[in-house]
Amino acid sequence: MHKEKFDELIKIMRRLRTECSWDKVQTFDSIKAATLEETYEVLEAIDDKNYEELKSELGDLLLHIVFHSVIAEDENLFTINDVIDSISQKLIRRHPHVFENLEVENNKEIERNWEKIKMQEGNRKSILDGIPKNLPELQKAARMQEKVSKVGFDWENKEDVWKKVIEEIEEMHESEVIGDKDLLENEMGDVFFALINYSRFLGVNPENALRRTNKKFLQRFNYIEQKLGEKNKSITNSNLQEMDKYWEESKKYFK
């Protein structure tokens, strides 16, 4: 039944590419921004624990996978079957402990094997090859640190990582005192990088953590605006004391 449903989705997309004037003119480039947007909407549904919405957003993301595949098919590049074959073969190849009975001690060894196999697959020159260039810089830093740690380039304990965070903060402050803006930017980048590394040692995904804090800030500030609106006031004719009052109130509701 699942295959029948999937085949039906492919048929619908092929028909749209033939009969819908909008769908037939789309390209990889024209829909790539929407593909990214759908990915973020999946993450938002997961963060909200809204599983009904997650079901819908996963459908939208699946649509984009099919859409890109049908565009490729129209241009004689590859088909959806090629896409499925590629990922199936990759999963088998990168899990020799499952499909080839390779003995491993723990998940750390599984991760190291994964990276070794990836290096062999694409004749990569660096363990860092393959990290998307357009990945948000925070997430890119986390991925680089994660990858090099799998080949043994890592701190031995989290206490030393925390000392590095403090060291970088002090250097950032020193550059601010000196008044060298270029040096300050460089040192601030080092602070972010060190904090991201420390978050890895704590088992916290920094992208998830920051997204959570951004959401909390948005909710709390919206609460301020709501309370001011109830008094027929806008944010522009309020003052810091009044805004702080509602900000503290908002903490009871948005944590």
Average of per-residue pLDDT across 116-137 = 84
Q: Name residues whose C-beta falls within 8 Å of residue 65's C-beta, 6 or more positions apart in sequence.
A: 83
User: In this structure, are residues 97 and 104 in contact, taking their beta carbons and an 8 Å threshold?
Assistant: yes
Q: Of 3-17, 111-125, 129-143, give the lowest mean pLDDT range.
A: 111-125
pLDDT, tens digit (0-9, with 9 covering 90-100), for 13-50? 999 999 999 999 999 999 999 999 999 999 999 989 99
pLDDT, tens digit (0-9, with 9 covering 90-100), for 184-243? 999 999 999 999 999 999 999 999 999 999 999 999 999 999 999 999 999 999 999 999
User: In this structure, are residues 165 and 220 in contact, taking their beta carbons and an 8 Å threshold?
Assistant: no
pLDDT band at 119 (very low <50, low <70, confident <90, very high): confident
Average of per-residue pLDDT across 163-186 = 96
Whole-number pLDDT of residue 1:
55
Domain ranges of the chain: 2-92, 155-204, 208-250
Whole-number pLDDT of residue 95:
94
What is the SS3 string spanning 144-192?
A: HHHHHHCCCCCCCCHHHHHHHHHHHHHHHHHHHHHCCHHHHHHHHHHHH
User: In this structure, are residues 138 and 210 in contact, taking their beta carbons and an 8 Å threshold?
Assistant: yes
User: In this structure, are residues 243 and 224 in contact, taking their beta carbons and an 8 Å threshold?
Assistant: yes
> CATH top-level class for 2-92?
mainly alpha
Instruction: Read off the pTM.
Output: 0.72
The H or E element that residue 105 is part of is: none
Q: Shortest CA distance to 48 belongs to which of 250, 218, 225?
A: 218
pLDDT band at 123 (very low <50, low <70, confident <90, very high): confident
Question: Which of the 8 DSSP states describes residue 114?
Answer: H
